[in-house]
Chain A
Amino acid sequence: MGTQKKSFFVIPYLLWIALFVVAPMALIVYQSLFDITGHFTLGNYTDYLESATYLKMTFNSVWYAFLITMVTLVISYPTAYLLNQLKNKRLWLLLIILPTWINLLLKTYAFIGLFSQNGSVNDFLRFVGAGSHQILFTDFSFIFVASYIEIPFMILPIFNALDEINPSLVNASRDLGANTWQTFRRVIAPLTMPGVKSGFQAVFIPSLSLFMITRLIGGNRVITLGTAIEEHFLVTQNWGMGSTIGVILIIAMFVVMFLTRERKGKGGQSR
């Protein structure tokens, strides 16, 4: 009876996975095997691997995604650590998560207003005598805005990992003579590694396929795989090539998941 009930509850999950995960991926792989005239071919993959443009674009995407992840990590870890020390930590956390309730496009447009030639930032720069600068359509603005949007997804898992640390572990470390730095390095950092890893996944993977921000903030001077997919599906109508890049992205995501997976047994507690 018990197992029967269990298998009954598994049905929605399996249906969901089959319909919305497996089926779309299978469709993408299937679609990637056709060229623009609708003939079955592996040409899309050879084209991809032979084209300097696509390889450079892949490298760019990974590089930008890495930069965005690093920027968010550098900001998020201390922030999460600080939040965890505060009295009303849940409230402060809520304030950080709040902006994710606002539509992504709206936030992006707000940055256009801030960064444009007559925007607030340039107004300020002119006021302090630094003159106006080109901020929009630069690598800086792209990474800044992307990091801003992704930050809550990095803070949240790190915060949770910190929150779950049993304070007696920290106390024990102190009792045994470790100073603050040693406690952090030997106790807190290893125990929060799972949080950092899931934060890494939650930021790196979406960053790989960003496309709206590359156009609105990057002015298409920053080209990522996401931009190319959008273009192939909407403009070129070359669904085969678009799907091929999609497959590449899926593979890249699996690689990231594999590299940041939780290792059983060893955990973070090793010396």
Chain B
Amino acid sequence: MKKLIAIFVGILVVCAVITGINYQMNAKTTANEKKVLNIYNWGDYIDPALITKFEKETGYHVVYETFDSNEAMLTKIKQGGTSYDLAVPSDYTVQRMIKSGLVAKIDKTKLSNYHNLDSRFLNLSFDPNNDYSVPYFWGTLGIVYNDQYVKASQVQHWEQLWNPAFKQSIMLTDSARDMLGIALITQGHGMNDTDETDLKNAQTKLKQLMPNVKAIVADEIKMYMKQNEAKIAVTYSGEAAEMMSYNHHLHYVVPTEGSNMWFDNMVIPKTAKHKVAAYAFINFMLSPKNAAQNAEYIGYSTPNKAAMKYLPTSVQQDKQFYPTESTVAHLEVYQDLPLKVIGNYNDLFLGFKMSK
């Protein structure tokens, strides 16, 4: 018993010491409170060298936290426990944050590098004047195929996925809007369609794809495609870039008839405490050289026009990640649809998944 008490007291003492040290360290960082920038970004979504460079150039101390879904980020910013100075939500989430008044207006006159951005990627429907958001990366939804089993000409269009030759060989991303969106496109509708009959028809169309579907998964697509488990996958360009860096048999296609175009954007939450630092960081990331360095490191497509010339020519001319003008013209950005419609999308998608 005595021994037990001794151990218990020992643990308590250790805890107390650690708490003390922790407090001391926190006190030190709060002393430089003014020179801090709290960034909230997706995991593994920036070249760490750029953070170091930014700290050196400006003297700010960057506190970098990550999230893995828009919803998780939204919840945390709503709660406001930690005040982030900069967050990177996707397009429809930006729209939702603007609606619920969670983001502050951005004064573009304070961003000397703003003009570097490609005008094609500005003033989009989710933030018509870019009053609240600055694009960080963009990408598409498309088809990844393995050239050992599939010829390029077989997968240039969405409709070709319904080819009976691809029995049990396609992996789909587990996302209602993306998958129903594809079916909508093959039927000549837009990806933001809210009409109930159109959606119902899209579900019928999608159900016909079921014999070709191998699995409906999420992040695991990357692993399976790397291991040649499936011939074809429908996924996002960012994911595709990562798979392709591991397996050189994989290629990515954005069907010319249309697809989704997504954006991750820098925003300043209303609760931000270090706005000057946030502006400095946005401007820093908009500088062509930094944007190019980041794009090369992450492998996503940069919306920074001036950055293009700093990228290797192979990347610049890569039709997979920088599709031609005519394809881009057909790409659509998702709008934040009314909750009821989103519910409808999800119910229909669930019905599709249940049809075996």
Residues of A within 8 A of B (CB): 36-37, 51, 53, 56-57, 60, 112, 116-118, 134, 136-137, 215-216, 219-221, 223, 228, 231, 234-238
Contacts and interface: CB of A to CB of B under 8 A. Distances in A.
Contacts of B213: 221
A117 B71 CA distance: 34
B236 to A, nearest CB: 15
Contacts of B214: 134, 137, 219
Contacts of A235: 175-176, 346
Q: Is the interface of A mostly helix, strand, loop or mixed?
A: loop
Interface in B313-356: 339-340, 342-343, 346-347, 350-351, 353-354, 356
Contacts of B152: none
B121 interface: no
30 contacts: A36-B339, A37-B339, A53-B347, A53-B354, A60-B354, A112-B223, A116-B227, A116-B229, A117-B229, A134-B168, A134-B214, A136-B215, A136-B229, A215-B217, A216-B217, A219-B215, A219-B217, A220-B174, A220-B215, A220-B216, A220-B353, A221-B356, A228-B350, A231-B346, A234-B69, A234-B71, A235-B346, A236-B343, A236-B346, A238-B343
B218 interface: yes
A116 to B, nearest CB: 5
A116 B228 CA distance: 9
Contacts of A37: 339-340
Contact of B224 (A57, A60, A116, A223): A116
A236 B223 CA distance: 25
Contact of B218 (A137, A215, A223, A238): A215
Instruction: Name the interface size band of chain B.
Output: 20 to 34
- For the complex of A and B, 6 pairs with smallest distance between CB atoms: A219-B215, A220-B216, A236-B346, A137-B215, A53-B351, A36-B339
A36 B343 contact: yes
A219 B228 contact: no
A82 B1 CA distance: 42
Interface of B: 69, 71, 168, 171, 174-176, 213-218, 220, 223-224, 227-229, 339-340, 342-343, 346-347, 350-351, 353-354, 356
Contacts of A231: 346, 350
Nearest to B220: A216
Nearest to A115: B229
A53 B216 contact: no
B7 to A, nearest CB: 22
A192 to B, nearest CB: 38
Given A56-B354, A117-B229, A223-B350, 19 more contacts: A36-B340, A53-B351, A116-B224, A116-B229, A117-B227, A117-B228, A118-B228, A134-B214, A136-B215, A215-B174, A215-B218, A216-B217, A219-B216, A219-B217, A220-B215, A220-B216, A220-B217, A221-B356, A236-B346
Contacts of B174: 215, 220
Contacts of B342: 236
A221 B340 contact: no
Contacts of A57: 354
A203 B80 CA distance: 41
A223 B229 contact: no
A17 B299 CA distance: 51
A190 B176 CA distance: 51
